[in-house]
Amino acid sequence: DAGITQSPRHKVTETGTPVTLRCHQTENHRYMYWYRQDPGHGLRLIHYSYGVKDTDKGEVSDGYSVSRSKTEDFLLTLESATSSQTSVYFCAVKEAGQGTDTQYFGPGTRLTVL
Amino acid sequence: KNEVEQSPQNLTAQEGEFITINCSYSVGISALHWLQQHPGGGIVSLFMLSSGKKKHGRLIATINIQEKHSSLHITASHPRDSAVYICAVTSLIQGAQKLVFGQGTRLTINP
């Protein structure tokens, strides 16, 4: 258990509304990730962070923004939610350094955009 | 073509059977990972390996770097093994910070 929580765990929202998902960790891991998981696509990287205020895009970043103002929190924002963003969102963390490739995942957030 | 391919996509077996899930990849890697996701549940890392074989209980993971292939075996399968098994690699091109995932294999073990 890497001390990762996600909030909310479930959310239903309407198209065009802003949504923010929160990932919180308690063990000072340097790297944090946001993924989405959809049937037929597996896990796909949205954005990741390699330190406070240091973020980079993943393969499916369009329509999403992130922020990391503290080591322990990584926020994912959908500025104007669309139905195509209905998905299960997972946060993950990883330590820095050689031989530390293993990522530890949060419990997931199920988002439905109507 | 995906950089990481798993087979089969779905597998149903009877309790007690020996299970094999395969993963092939097309990129140079520094490590390969096997993860497990139970229905409605979170994702747990089972193994990280860069060569040879690792064993944990009834689970065995092997990798052949030359053939770019890995297998996950489950001996004496049990209904609680029913889950999605995900193969992922740490690609040399993308660096150790990112994982490249296969689409997963859904395993169902019937009692």
DSSP line for B75-107:
SS--GGG-EEEEEEEEETTT-TT--EE---EEE
C-beta neighbour count of A32 within 10 angstroms:
27
Q: What is the pLDDT of residue A34?
A: 97
pLDDT of B96 reads: 66
Average pLDDT over residues A69-84: 96
SS3 state at A108: coil
Average pLDDT, chain A: 92
What share of chain B has pLDDT > 90, as a percent? 77
Across the interface, which of B44, B90, B104 has its CB nearest the CB of A101? B90
Three-class DSSP category at A84: helix
* pLDDT at site B110: 97
Least confident range from A64-73, A98-107, B10-19, B76-85: namely A98-107
Among A42, A94, A100, select the one facing B103 at the smallest CB separation: A42
| pLDDT for the residue A40 | 81
Q: Which residue from B minimizes the CA distance to A110?
A: B40
Confidence band for B77, pLDDT divided at 50, 70 and 90: very high
Q: Which residues of B fall within a CB distance of 8 Å from A101?
A: 30-31, 33, 48, 90, 96, 99
Task: Give yes or no for B9 touching A (CB within 8 A).
Answer: no
- Going by pLDDT thresholds of 50, 70 and 90, the confidence category of residue A98 is low
Average pLDDT taken over every residue of chain B: 93
Q: What is the pLDDT averaged over residues A3-27?
A: 96
Residue A1: what pLDDT? 55
Residue B52 has pLDDT above 60, yes or no: yes
Confidence of residue A100 (pLDDT cuts 50, 70, 90): low
Q: Which of A42, A58, A102 sits opposite B45 (nearest CB)?
A: A102
Mean pLDDT score, A50-71: 94
